[in-house]
Structure 1
Amino acid sequence: MAPPQSTPPAVLACGEIRTCLLPARQALDIRSAARLLGLRAGERVLLSERPGLYARSPDTLTGVDCLLPSANGARVRAVGTVTAHAALTEGRVLQTSAHCRLPGTGPDQRRPWGEYLVRPGVVEPFGRLPHEAVARGVLGGPRQGDLDVGLVADGLLTRVLRHPLLDQRPPFRCRPTRLRWAALPAPPGEGPSLERFTLAEDELRTVHLRVPEGTSGAELAALCDDFALHDWLLTTVVRMLDGLRLGAGAAQDAATVVRTLRPAVDHLLHLWMPAARVGRELAALWDPLEERPGFTRQWQALVQRIRDQLALYAVPAAHRDVAPGP
């Protein structure tokens, strides 16, 4: 068998992430997390206890042979594999992530399938790749029949959610989110940049990045997994507070407020650690989100508001428990 031909450098990387609350009454311990994410026999689950409990499945590969989404109508066929993994943070927040890299040019004919398998996470175009148009097409959403890495992330999520360890009794109700990202080359001599972070409809977020040549797809996926985790935390806590009418004349009683806000304290407030698992070269891409809109400022304000409300509603109960003086 002839040796596989070399692949040109990637000019586009893209991926999608699904983030949701694990449907289990209790958070999973580290051993149970390893059982949940043991997706490939004989391959170990990555486990970490610092700076928090974290488990990540081995990578899985999904073969694709399809057209690429494109904003200018170009119809480019591509063949290769999409890499996917699942991760669990503090035994409570589940994510599935799928991504791939695309080189600037590919062969005019399909290679033997074995040559694609030795390039995990690479999807090769036939001929030249109009990478700017394809990046816009990815972020805008693929049409039916186009490459859709979100379907790979969805399929992996469905697989994990069927595991018998999960009792399907989450401690509170919340919506999952989707984050779709695309990374194009940065200008020569420039570092990575976050071009745009957008909140779209139907729980969708889109991220447009530019990164130096040679940035690995795994590092980009880790960065975007981190974005997705913290965006989900913000979104979930904002919605917890959104339905409450607080203050004088509010309809809810103390028990309702405490019942609504307590899950945030029990399950979410300790999870905020931006860039804790992001490579050093890409960690600076958190800075634009901290400056504006100010992810951590908003989180800290929400946390303080929850704690203030719980303290406030505890005051009348404490007064009732104090026996009157002589």
Structure 2
Amino acid sequence: MSRAAEDSDAFVACGEVRTCLLPTRDALDERTAVELLHLRPDERVRVSRHPNRHVVSPDVLTGVDCRLPTDTGARVRAVGTVRSRASLVEGRVIQSTASFSLPAVGADRRQSWGYYLVRPGLLVPLGRLPESAVVRGFLRGHRQGELDVGSIAESVLAHISRQDRILDHDPPLTAADTRLRWTAVRTTADEEPSSLLTKNEDGLSTLELRLPPGVAPSEAVGLCEDLALHDWLLTTVADKLDGLPTAAADGRAVLRVLRPLVDHLLHLWMPRARVDRALQTAWNQLEEAPGFSRQWNALAQRIRDQLAVRAIHLPDEVPGRR
């Protein structure tokens, strides 16, 4: 089945994105990044070089036959495949994504696997889908015996992290992993597209998207990956600057914190670089509240100001000086 045909069946899409620093001292070059993300021998790794270098693995399909999470306790069985992939931004930040789409109504009986395999990334419910209960239940988190797409995304990262011939597991800075769990549904004709982001204390954020009628919910994957990347960048830099000592006596300690941020992260901020034009409204709402770019610009300026001050007091320690 073509992607267009799959999207025509989609009524709801759900997924989870895991984002972390690639566990290696130096950023990978393009050739090595392609080797790292060559997850399937029968499919090519995709590379985009503009406006930054972005390497994406082939899709990997995982067959599932299980209950879907619901907030009502309703037992909703679905069968099909979850689509997962990994991406690497500028050889430095690695992401893994697991996602699936759901039609509004499925067959009353389970079909043979051949029926589901020609619909990659589509989970077909047995009977009618209780949309609201599944969306709320997915965002809340799975219970025992229910579908856990986060573990599928995590397994992709685990597979990549075991490639010791490529990775030296000596990253230039410590950074927490983040998770973005998201749902996307189409709006009705009289309803405005919207996005609602909620951040928790444990590194998990949830995103509820309501998309224009002409946009298939599965198209939200790229938007959610872009948001997850920039949320991770913002979280990582803000955490590093939180409580940063500024006394003159601590100048070298400050530079040890700031230099890795300059060398490895600041140039990665490029929101909406690969977001479909039809989904720009959702990103624009996130720019208004909570105001991602405003906060990032303030943090980046703080780093530049600190480096300027250190250049006066510790000229031999400024990043880039010899």
TM-score class, shorter: over 0.9
Match of 1:179 in 2: 180
Is 1:9–1:214's contact at 8 Å kept on the other side of the alignment?
Answer: no
Matched, 1:197 2:194: no
Match of 2:250 in 1: 253
Taking the aligned partners of 1:16 and 1:6, their CA distance within structure 2 comes to: 20
Match of 1:285 in 2: 282
Matched, 1:212 2:223: no
Match of 1:267 in 2: 264
Match of 1:126 in 2: 126
Match of 1:48 in 2: 48
Identity of aligned residues (%): 55
Taking the aligned partners of 2:38 and 2:315, their CA distance within structure 1 comes to: 48
- Sort the Cα spacing of 1:41 and 1:7 in 2 relative to 1 into closer, same or farther, 3 A: closer
Is 1:9–1:213's contact at 8 Å kept on the other side of the alignment?
Answer: no
Match of 1:323 in 2: none
- Sort the Cα spacing of 1:137 and 1:319 in 2 relative to 1 into closer, same or farther, 3 A: closer
Match of 1:324 in 2: none
Q: How does 1:294-305 map to 2 (within 5 A)?
A: 294-305=291-302
Q: How does 1:12-161 map to 2 (within 5 A)?
A: 12-161=12-161
Is 1:25–1:169's contact at 8 Å kept on the other side of the alignment?
Answer: yes
Is 1:15–1:97's contact at 8 Å kept on the other side of the alignment?
Answer: yes
- Sort the Cα spacing of 1:181 and 1:6 in 2 relative to 1 into closer, same or farther, 3 A: closer
Cα displacement string for residues 69-107 of structure 1 (whole angstroms, at most 9, x for unaligned residues): 101111111100000100000000000001000111111
Cα displacement string for residues 143-199 of structure 1 (whole angstroms, at most 9, x for unaligned residues): 1111111111011110111112111010110100000000122012555321x1000
Taking the aligned partners of 2:213 and 2:154, their CA distance within structure 1 comes to: 29
Counterpart of 2:272, as a letter, is A
Taking the aligned partners of 1:263 and 1:291, their CA distance within structure 2 comes to: 29
Cα displacement string for residues 251-287 of structure 1 (whole angstroms, at most 9, x for unaligned residues): 8611100001111100010111111011110122111
Q: What is the Cα deviation at residue 214 of structure 1?
A: 5.3
Q: What secondary structure does 2:11 align onto?
A: strand
Is 1:183–1:208's contact at 8 Å kept on the other side of the alignment?
Answer: yes
Deviates more, 1:35-44 or 1:210-219: 210-219
Counterpart of 2:21, as a letter, is L
Taking the aligned partners of 1:49 and 1:283, their CA distance within structure 2 comes to: 21
Q: What is the Cα deviation at residue 218 of structure 1?
A: 4.7
Taking the aligned partners of 1:63 and 1:83, their CA distance within structure 2 comes to: 9
Taking the aligned partners of 2:106 and 2:22, their CA distance within structure 1 comes to: 40
Uncovered stretches (5+) of structure 1, i.e. residues with no partner: 321-326
Taking the aligned partners of 1:109 and 1:319, their CA distance within structure 2 comes to: 72
Whichever of the two has the greater Rg, that structure is 1
Is 1:100–1:122's contact at 8 Å kept on the other side of the alignment?
Answer: yes
Match of 2:320 in 1: none
Is 1:132–1:184's contact at 8 Å kept on the other side of the alignment?
Answer: no
Is 2:7–2:216's contact at 8 Å kept on the other side of the alignment?
Answer: no
Is 2:186–2:216's contact at 8 Å kept on the other side of the alignment?
Answer: no
| C-alpha RMSD over aligned residues | 1.9
Deviates more, 1:131-140 or 1:250-259: 250-259
Count of residues in correspondence between the two structures: 312
Uncovered stretches (5+) of structure 2, i.e. residues with no partner: 318-322
- Sort the Cα spacing of 1:84 and 1:38 in 2 relative to 1 into closer, same or farther, 3 A: same
Q: What secondary structure does 1:180 align onto?
A: strand
Taking the aligned partners of 1:298 and 1:207, their CA distance within structure 2 comes to: 19
Taking the aligned partners of 2:300 and 2:251, their CA distance within structure 1 comes to: 18
